[in-house]
Chains A and B, each alone.
Chain A
Amino acid sequence: AQKITQTQPGMFVQEKEAVTLDCTYDTSDQSYGLFWYKQPSSGEMIFLIYQGSYDEQNATEGRYSLNFQKARKSANLVISASQLGDSAMYFCAMREGPDSGAGSYQLTFGKGTKLSVIP
């Protein structure tokens, strides 16, 4: 079973509107971390936001917020007031705790969502 599922291969959003990118995860760990990365067409991976499994508040970073629903195992990224520069691939990733047996601090990535912002 996939550990990270991003069900939207591609999405379009009008400039200045908000958009939600979906991410569901699968883990039996109690302690884990969830990340979102942005990959523009230039190729680099840019860290956006982090949510810990024990964090009671949803994470926010500027225009980015994470809608964390632990019982549903979802960690959706919300981008408010979309800008043309937000057009990129977005990856959701998870790092499980040492108890998972991985012990590797590995980031497990979803397949990504390509977001296109329309003027």
Chain B
Amino acid sequence: EAQVTQNPRYLITVTGKKLTVTCSQNMNHEYMSWYRQDPGLGLRQIYYSMNVEVTDKGDVPEGYKVSRKEKRNFPLILESPSPNQTSLYFCASSSKGVELNTEAFFGQGTRLTVV
């Protein structure tokens, strides 16, 4: 079954304690990205990756890091989480191509609370 898997689904952590949210896809997609969703703001892109070892900032990258060492994995790293990073996070993947109609497949979401 084609899917994007995020872990954990729920996480409560304390300010400053480094954490990693994992994301893995089994569709051999080149393009992966991270979004955060906040009430009244919709989804905003944090980082994206066009392929292995190719990453770039989205609209709200401050406080986050990513890596793309393997095609299937795209972890999101919060080196020193702060309460304003409390949010619902989504990983997404899609095949890169010249067509625009490539559907983005989303993970189930990770609800992060930083206290």
Residues of A within 8 A of B (CB): 4, 9, 31-33, 35, 37, 43-45, 47, 50, 52-53, 91, 93, 95, 97-98, 104-112
Residues of B within 8 A of A (CB): 31, 33, 35, 40-45, 48, 50, 56, 58, 88, 90, 92, 94, 96, 98, 100-106, 108-109, 111
Among A9, A95, A107, A109, residue most surrounded by chain B Cβ atoms (within 10 Å) = A107
- Knowing A105-B94, A111-B40, A111-B42 touch, does A95 contact B108 (C-beta < 8 A)? no
Among B31, B33, B42, B102, residue most surrounded by chain A Cβ atoms (within 10 Å) = B42
Q: Closest 8 A-B residue pairs measured CB to CB?
A: A33-B100, A45-B106, A109-B42, A109-B43, A111-B42, A43-B109, A47-B103, A50-B101
CB contacts between A and B, total, < 8 Å: 66
Q: Does B43 lie within 8 Å of A104, measured CB to CB?
A: no
For residue A37, give the distance in angstroms from its CB to the closest CB of chain B.
Answer: 8
Residues of chain A within 8 A (CB-CB) of B101 are 33, 50, 52
Q: Does B88 lie within 8 Å of A43, measured CB to CB?
A: yes
Which of these, A31, A45, A104, contacts B100 with CB under 8 Å? A31
Q: Does B100 lie within 8 Å of A91, measured CB to CB?
A: no
- Knowing A43-B108, A104-B58 touch, does A97 contact B100 (C-beta < 8 A)? yes
Among A37, A95, A98, A104, residue most surrounded by chain B Cβ atoms (within 10 Å) = A104
Q: Does A109 lie within 8 Å of B108, measured CB to CB?
A: no
Given contacts A35-B104, A91-B42, A107-B104, 12 further A-B contacts (CB under 8 A): A4-B42, A37-B106, A45-B109, A47-B103, A52-B100, A53-B100, A95-B100, A97-B100, A104-B48, A105-B50, A106-B33, A109-B44
Which of these, A32, A44, A105, A108, contacts B106 with CB under 8 Å? A44
Residues of chain A within 8 A (CB-CB) of B106 are 37, 44-45
For residue B69, give the distance in angstroms from its CB to the closest CB of chain A.
Answer: 20
- Residue of A whose beta carbon sits closest to that of B56: A104
- Knowing A105-B94, A106-B48, A111-B41 touch, does A44 contact B100 (C-beta < 8 A)? no
A-B contact pairs, 7 of them (CB 8 A): A4-B42, A45-B106, A45-B109, A104-B48, A104-B50, A106-B33, A106-B58
Q: Does B43 lie within 8 Å of A105, measured CB to CB?
A: no
